[in-house]
Structure 1
C-alpha cells in the first residue's frame, strides 16, 4: 500500500538533524513504502543522508535553516512560523504535499502552529495531545489530554473520549476500547461537576464504539485495566510527569542496588534477562510519538530527547494513523453523537 509522504522537521529536538534522519531511515528500513519530505538545513541533511543510501530515492529536501527554539513562546513561534522548519513541515500537510508531519521540537509551538494551519475538525472545540503508555496488561493505554488544554469542560472531555477511542481502535485492535475518566475516586459522586457531567453524557451515548467504564484513579493508569484514560491537560501532564519520573526512579534504584556490592553484581548477572526486559518496557523511546488529535491533518510530536529508535517509532505512529484513516474515524464517531448529545444535564 502506498502512503502519502511524511514531513520531518529535521531541525527540531535536542539531538539534532542526524538523529531525526537516522530515525526516519530506520523507519524506512522497517517499511520500505515510507517516503519523506525532509525540512531543514539542506547541507546538514545531505551529510546525514550520506549514511543511508536507501533514503535518497524516497526523500525530498525542503531547505530551511531557521528553527524554533525549545524555550520559545508559542506566540513568537506563530509570528515567524512560515520561515521555520517546524512551520514548513506543518504547512506541507495543510497544502497536501505531505500526509503527516513529525517534529521533536517545542510542544507548545507545534500545537499553536498546527492548530492555526490545520484548524480543528468541524464539531470539535479543541485538539488534544494523546500518547501511548505501557501497562502491565496486554495493551498499551492511550491517555489524553497531556497538556494542550489546561482547563476543560464536560463537552471537551466527551470529545477527547471519542478521539481517544478512535485512536485506540487503531493501535489496540479492540472494537470497543475500555474508556475511563481520570478522577480522584471511582464512586459516581467523586470529582468535579465537569467530570461528572462528562460521565453522564458518555453513559448515555450508546452509539459510540467504546465501553465507557466510569472513572480510574491515577495509580491504576498502568494496570492494563482500560484502553483510554481521559482528562484535562493540566491533570494529564502532571500524571504523565509523575509516571515518567517513577519509571526513572525505579531504573536508577535498580542500577544503584546492583552496583552496591560484589554479591549484588553477581545477582545482576543472574537476573539480567529480567532487568533488560524491564528496561525495554520502561524506555520512553519504545512508546514515542504523541499525537495532536482533532486537527484536519496528522501531526505527531516526538520526544525532544528521543534517539533514532524513538524517532522511528514516532514516524511509524504517523504512518499508522494515515493507513487507518484516523481523521474519518473521528468524524464518524462525532456524527454518532451529534451536538445535542454534548449538552450536559
Structure 2
C-alpha cells in the first residue's frame, strides 16, 4: 500500500485542512497517511474525527516540533529548523519510509529542503513546479516553472523543457509533446536576454519538439503541450489564471440569476456549468509536482482547503504508482545526451 507523508503544519488553514484532507484521501484512495507535525495540536483534532490510535483510519502521527512559517526566508528555515514538519516529512521519503510527500507550506523552503534532503536527479540543477492548465481543447497544457525558481539561467529553462517533455509523455500520454517558450512575441528576436539565450539552446536540443516562442494567451488554447518560463513569471501566470477562473464563474452565476428566463435556462444547463466549474477549480488538481528531485514531492497552495489536500495526496499516489519519476529520469538521460547544450549555457 502506498504511504504518503503530509506536512500537517504548513498551510494557511493547518492543521484542519490537512487532517480533513488526509482522512478523506485515506478513505477514498486506500492510501496510508503519515501526518507530520506537532502531536499536541494534531491529536485533539483527530480524536474529534473519531481517530483513536496509530494506524486507525489509515492515519498515523510522526512528531515534528518545529514549523516553517510562510514568511520565513527559505535558507534560514532549512538551516535552523532541522526538526520542522517539512524536513521530517522529506526525510521519511529519503529513508524509504514514505513513498511521497505533500505540503501546502512555504514553497521556497520546500524546494530547498527537497534539494538538501532528497537531492536532484542527474543533469538537473534546479527542480521545477509543473501545473496543468485547462484549455479550450480539453487537454491541459503543462506550465513550468510556476514558483520554485524566481531567477533562472537559460540552461534551467532547457532542463525545465526536458522534464516537462518527459512528464507529458509519462503522465499525459502525449507521444511527442510540443514545447514552447514564454516570451512577449512569437518572433525569435523578441524577449529579454534570458528568453533569447534559452531560445537558441532549446532549438539545439533535437529530442525536443520545440515550436518556438509563445505568448501568454497561448497557454489556454491547447495548441502547445508544454510551456516553459522562469518561476516568477510562471507563478504570476498561474495565479492570474486562477483569479480569472473565479471571476468567470462568479460572472456566469450572476448573469444566470438576473432574470426568470436566465434562471430557467440555468436549471437546464446546470450539469454543463458544473462540469466547467470543476475543470477550472484548482482544488480538483490539488497540487503541482516538484519535478527533478529524487522522490515524489507535491506542493499545493498555502490557502488549500481539505479538498485540495485530498486531491494532492491522490496525485502523489498516482505519481508513485505510475513510476513517473523513473520515466522522467530516463527521459532526461536521453535528452541530455547532447551535453554540449548544458556546457554552452553555463
TM-based fold match above 0.5: yes
**Alpha-carbon separation, structure 2, partners of 1:40 and 1:49:** 17
Q: Which residue of 2 aligns with 1:78?
A: 78
Work out whether 1:274 is the aligned partner of 2:272.
Answer: yes
| 1:170 Cα deviation after fit | 2.7
Separation in structure 2 between the aligned mates of residue 166 and residue 48 of structure 1, nearest angstrom = 43
Quote the Cα distance in structure 1 between the aligned partners of 2:87 and 2:234.
Answer: 26
Q: Residue 267 of structure 1: CA displacement?
A: 4.1
Question: What is the aligned partner in structure 2 of residue 221 from structure 1?
Answer: 219
Whether contact under 8 Å (1:135, 1:222) holds in the other structure is: yes
Question: Matched residue of 1:23: which SS?
Answer: helix
Aligned residue in 1 for 2:295: 297
Alpha-carbon deviation of 1:139?
1.6
CA distance in 2, matches of 1:259, 1:154: 50
TM-score of the superposition, structure 2-length normalised? 0.88
Q: Residue 161 in 1 paired to residue 158 in 2?
A: no
Please say if residues 25 and 55 of structure 1, whose CA atoms lie closer than 8 Å, have aligned partners that are also in contact.
Answer: no
| 74-83 or 47-56: bigger deviation | 47-56
Alignment of 1:259-338 (within 5 A): 259-336=257-334, 337-338=336-337
Query: Considering only aligned residues, what root-mean-square deviation do their CA atoms show, in Å?
Result: 2.5
- Deviation string 1:194-226 (CA, Å, 9 cap, x unpaired) is 3233333333323x3x42222221111011112
What is the CA-CA distance between 1:263 and the residue it aligns to? 4.7
Once the two structures are TM-superposed, the CA of residue 335 in structure 1 deviates from its matched residue by: 2.4
Q: Which moved more, 1:297-306 or 1:53-62?
A: 53-62
1:270 and 1:334 map into 2 onto residues whose CA distance is 49
Contact 1:190 1:196 in 2 (8 A): yes
Aligned to 1:59: 59
Alpha-carbon deviations, 1:116-162, whole Å to 9, x = none?
22222232221112111211123212111112222222211110001
Deviates more, 1:194-203 or 1:227-236: 194-203
What's 2:250 paired with?
252
- Tell me the CA shift for residue 65 of structure 1: 4.4
Distance 1:268 1:51, change over 3 A: farther
Counterparts of 2:301 and 2:121, CA distance in 1: 25
Residue 37 of structure 1 is matched in structure 2 by 34
Q: Secondary structure at the match of 1:300?
A: strand
Structure 1: distance between partners of 2:258 and 2:201: 54
Q: Distance in 1 between matches of 2:238 and 2:279?
A: 16
- Counterpart in the other structure of 2:185: 185
TM-score (ref. length: structure 1): 0.88
Distance 1:54 1:247, change over 3 A: farther
Distance in 1 between the 2:224 and 2:54 partners?
Answer: 40
Q: Which residue of 2 aligns with 1:135?
A: 135
Aligned equivalent of 1:9: 7
Q: Structure 2: how far apart are the matches of 1:217 and 1:84? A: 40
For residues 74 and 197 of structure 2, what CA distance do their matches in structure 1 show?
32
- 1 CA distance for matches of 2:263 and 2:293? 51
Alignment of 1:14-29 (within 5 A): 14-29=12-27
How far apart, CA to CA, are the structure 1 residues paired with 2:133 and 2:54?
32
The offset of 1:179, in angstroms, is 1.4
In the aligned structure 2, how far is the partner of 1:140 from the partner of 1:54? 39
Distance 1:316 1:260 in 2: 38
- Number of aligned residues: 340
The alpha carbon displacement at 1:112 in A equals: 2.2
1:51–1:59 Cα change, 3 Å: closer
Instruction: Quote the residue 1:50 is aligned against.
Output: 50
For structure 1, which runs of at least 5 residues remain unmatched after alignment? none
Distance 1:107 1:195, change over 3 A: same
Partner of 2:91: 91
Cα distance between partner residues in 2 of 1:186 and 1:27: 43
Q: Tell me, in whole angstroms, the C-alpha distance in 1 between the residues paired with 2:52 and 2:189.
A: 57
* Structure 2 match to 1:175: 175
Structure 2 residue 201 is the aligned partner of structure 1 residue 201: yes
Moved more, 300-309 or 239-248: 300-309
